[in-house]
Structure 1
Amino acid sequence: MIQTLRKLVKFDEFVAKYPDNTGKRYELHDGAIVEMPQPTGDHEEVVGFLAFEVTRECIRLNLLYFIPKTALVKPPENESAYSPDVLILNRPNLVNEPLWKKESTVSQAESIPLVVEVVSSNWRDDYLKKAADYEAVGIREYWIVDYAALGGRRFIGNPKQPTVSLYTLIDGEYQVSQFQGSDRIISPLFPELNLTPKEIFQAGGYPV
């Protein structure tokens, strides 16, 4: 289970103290420091596969995008900071990010074409809190990759099935499309990307 350290802190305090020398990963959720669970091997295989496929598409299209290792996304209106599983950054806009050089933190939609969260035990954060905050930032595209069908039935159906939920920003609000099995994932950001949930889930050892 995720452990929340209860003392509320400001973003500046958070980045000054964390990450610490314990090797643990933390996020800031409305002022609460949240220790993130160590990911499973399956989770990391899915993350690595997705990062590779997206990077390959960026290279093919000659996009000035890259995937940082530990950058943070800070919503504008609250004391939160997230470390997505896969974060695509638009390099030319980083000169406009006041927190980038010293704190590797971004908060502008123009800097963040895509965020991907691979679902683990804290699935409510991905489907509820992070979806709302990424929408508030104005991130054009947000993928929730639920390879183990951990999310609630109201999000992935009943019976629950491994699902990729793709949130696209339209008129300032997220509209969601969902993909399962051998569906081709339709990404407005990467319209020529040839990728299915089955391929993603099998990367994590989940036959579907």
Structure 2
Amino acid sequence: MISPYDVYLEKEDKKKEICVIPDISVMCDKNGFNEKRYCGVPTIIVEVLSSNWAEDMIKKLKLYEEYGVSEYWIVDPSSASFMVYSYDLEKKSYIHIHQKDNELCSKLFSDLKINMKSVFN
């Protein structure tokens, strides 16, 4: 889903759901969909940095980690860079996945590779 689309993060051990509007969301569990929103935890969330970069780099990173979003991608058009965080189920935290050769690679979907040079040009 592409923004604007409400995503209500919810998890069994959390008392309340939290609404976020990611730039791009990939949801593999179709049970969370209804007409206007998605309830659950997306598989991948992509945020494109803007002037409020601290929101995406600090606050949302911590929030998505807390709810167990499997992958969190941060794209920074101003520096033509990107970061990929993958959720480690054992550690219950994100690990930064080093990306090389300007190719964004998903740990979850091994065939998903994006040439970021083409995105930034």
Q: Same fold (TM over 0.5)?
A: yes
Pairwise CA distance, 1:101: 3.2
Unaligned runs of 5+ in 1: 1-66, 95-99, 150-161, 203-208
Residue 101 (structure 1) aligned with residue 34 (structure 2): yes
- Aligned partner of 1:73 in structure 2 is 8
Q: 1:144 to 1:87 in 2, by over 3 A?
A: same
Equivalent pairs counted in the alignment come to 115
The correspondence of residues 1-150 of structure 1 with structure 2, limited to 5 A, is 67=1, 70-74=5-9, 76=14, 80-94=18-32, 100-101=33-34, 104-106=37-39, 108-109=40-41, 112-149=42-79
Distance 1:79 1:187, change over 3 A: closer
Instruction: Write the distance in 2 (CA, Å) between the matches of 1:77 and 1:184.
Output: 38
Contact between 1:163 and 1:179, CA under 8 Å: does it hold in 2?
no
For residue 86 of structure 2, what is the aligned residue in structure 1?
Answer: 168
* CA-based RMSD: 2.4
For the 8 Å contact 2:104–2:115, the answer to whether it is kept is yes
Query: Could you say which structure has the larger radius of gyration?
Result: 1
CA contact (8 A) 1:166 1:178 kept: yes
Distance of 2:46 and 2:107 partners within structure 1: 14
More strand by share: 2
| Cα contact 1:163–1:178 (8 A) shared by 2 | no
Q: What are the Cα deviations for residues 176-202 of structure 1, in whole angstroms up to 9, with x where unaligned? A: 12436x432221122112322212211
Structure with greater proportional helix content: 1
TM-score by length of 2: 0.78
Partner of 1:39: none
Q: CA deviation at 1:82?
A: 1.1
Structure 1 pair 78–124 and aligned structure 2 pair: CA distance change class (3 A)? farther
